Amino acid sequence: MMRTIDATGMEFTELNGLLRRTEGDIELQGCLGQRFIGAGMGNRKIRIHGIPGNALGAYLNGGELEVFGNAQDAVGDTMNAGTILVHGSIGDTAGYAMRGGKIYVRGNAGYRTGIHMKAYKEHLPVIIIGGRAGSFLGEYQAGGILVVLGLHTDGRPIVSNYPCTGMHGGKLFLRSDCRDLRFPKQVTARPASPEDLEEIGDYLEEYCALFGLDRSHILSSPFTVVTPDSANPYRQMYVAN
Amino acid sequence: MRVLEGQFRNPSGCAISAVISRNGERMSGEQIIESMKPMHERSNGLGGGFAGYGIYPEYRELFALHLFFSGKEAKKDCEDYLKGALELVKAEVIPTRTIPAITDEPLIWRYFVTPLRSVLASMQVDENEYIARVVMHINTAITGAYVFSSGKNMGVFKAVGFPEDVGEFYRLEDYGAYSWTAHGRYPTNTPGWWGGAHPFALLDWTVVHNGEISSYDANRRCIEMYGYKCTLQTDTEVITYIADYLLRKQGLTLEETASVIAAPFWETIERMPEAEKRELTYLRTVFPSLLVTGPFSIVLGFHGGLMALNDRLKLRSMVTAEKGDRVFIASEEAAIRAMEPAAENFYAPAGGEPVIVRVREGCC
């Protein structure tokens, strides 16, 4: 059963207390900037209307958060498991230190998406961004899979400056030939092979089904895959100036 | 022993927001106050403030000095100085409302003034330079007196408290501005006191800032060589003086000023087309000590417009949006939605990418 909660005018601790005390799935209306929605939650669904505040689904441990508009900064901060779906765009540092679960975004992402995401054995975090991503995409990425599809239409590049700075694990997929992109020395960027794409096939299928997109159309463009180059490990955080 | 503000360090962020009517329509302060409510947690009650442009149309030719006085003696000393230095057209208490959330207020006055033409002629300075010197003199030499606003047809209203309370305290619903900026403070390194709340202002320039300036001392040492005095015990002040120096004294454009404050990395400059490369190399070479490093998002208010700017690494959040002739800027989208639920064209400017909005010619 889906219960409806109206968050209008509610302070964030009050709202989160109410969410924790309410059992089952929740339809959340009138959200406006309340932080930490779904933090640490597992095994249920919250459908969010309005604008959730920062750190949506921080430490998420299962279940699903679905946002019908945009979300702000630090979506899925340190999340462990579960799924966050955003129909709009998201702010900076989504998936910060994420160690499991999935973040699927239809629109664009801000700076530092997937910063320090990591993986361990069966825990494999996945982020798919439908549009474009800001600078420092996958900064210090240590594991997991980051995908940017570049379905945006505003003519801006699929990713801004300094992608993969400090990357030392995981994989980044960009739906682009990346001709104009400059990557740091310690990573290797190459055209994605069918085997590479096989690795993200199930996630893409799920993503396209959720957002009503055509998977074969998406796969008809070239992808680039970026991995850290273990022979030339990362040494310096930022450029020398 | 009670540990006082300024004797300990407390970490976190701040909130900024702004709205401007490109048609120059006057907006009361209620909407901008509303924008600060969803960002309440970004402040800790140790500073809130607003700047409104176009609020004193009946005195548009006069400089409006807003002052804090610690007591009657400071007020008398300051007024004695003002009477000798300027023509005083009007002096009045800034109207406030007594509310439980705002306490320990200083004396808060405003003076509508104009420099004496004969003094300007003999000193061979223009009126802006003269007023800037008056402000620096009061803030450094008159104990207990602080000028916190000094432009024409604009004013800053700030206090220790949460911004929504500060707005109520100053009765901002009674003012009509074509642009407003707002700030909620969470001081991290320096005291939360009335003069240290944002916006920081000099002449028409005002700055609200979320962040922390790593280059503060380098910037301060540089700007103090040009007659500015950093007296307000917090880093943001220096950005205001840098803006005044680059825009008014050096005659740079807003875009050029943004390229000095948030200069691109040399590596980024290297990859630019030749003309752009030459210009940015020039700006970084001529004004190296005015590069502001560390995380910041700021809104610079000026006569007829606003400029939003992030640090070049974009270590603080900022979004912009539009609706009709209105443009909105805030730390969080929720703040913009609080002002205008149907706002559209949301955009997150890149680090170092200035967003400049101007009121249409002749509308302010």
Q: Which residue in B266, B332, B348 is closest to A241 by CB distance?
A: B266
- pLDDT band for position A241 (cuts 50, 70, 90): low
Q: Does B64 touch chain A (CB under 8 A)?
A: no
How does the average pLDDT of chain A come out, rounded? 94
Q: Does A222 touch chain B (CB under 8 A)?
A: no
How far apart are the CA of A167 and the nearest CA of chain B, in angstroms?
A: 17
CATH of domain B15-316+351-358: 3.60.20.10
For chain B, the C-alpha Rg in angstroms (whole number) is 19
Chain-chain contact of B337 with A51 (C-beta, under 8 angstroms):
yes
pLDDT in tens, B11-42: 457 999 999 999 999 999 999 999 999 999 99
Chain-chain contact of B38 with A135 (C-beta, under 8 angstroms):
no
The mean per-residue pLDDT over the stretch B222-241 comes to 91
pLDDT in tens, A54-84: 999 999 999 999 999 999 999 999 999 999 9
* The two structure tokens encoding residue B53: 């442009």
How far apart are the CA of B231 and the nearest CA of chain A, in angstroms?
A: 30
Cα separation, B304 vs B298, in Å, equals 17
CATH of domain A2-228: 2.160.20.60
What element of type H or E holds B76? Answer: helix B72-85
How does the average pLDDT of chain B come out, rounded? 94
pLDDT on residue B190:
75
Chain-chain contact of A135 with B351 (C-beta, under 8 angstroms):
yes
pLDDT on residue A239:
61
Break chain A into its structural domains and give their ranges: 2-228
On chain B, the residues whose CB falls within 8 A of the CB of A136 are: 313
By CA distance, what is B264's nearest residue in A? A241
Nearest to A190 by CA among A172, A203, A166: A172
pLDDT(A238) > 70: no
Break chain B into its structural domains and give their ranges: 15-316+351-358
By CA distance, what is A31's nearest residue in B? B334
Q: What is the pTM of this model?
A: 0.94
How far apart are the CA of B107 and the nearest CA of chain A, in angstroms?
A: 34
Catalytic residues of B: 14
pLDDT on residue B9:
41
Strand partners, B310: B297
At residue B88, what is the residue type?
A: L
pLDDT(B191) > 80: no
Q: Which residue in B38, B314, B319 is closest to A135 by CB distance?
A: B314
Cα torsion through A238, A134, A159, A130, rounded to 10: 140
Task: List Cα–Cα distances, B56 to A64, B59, B177, in angstroms.
Answer: 52, 5, 9
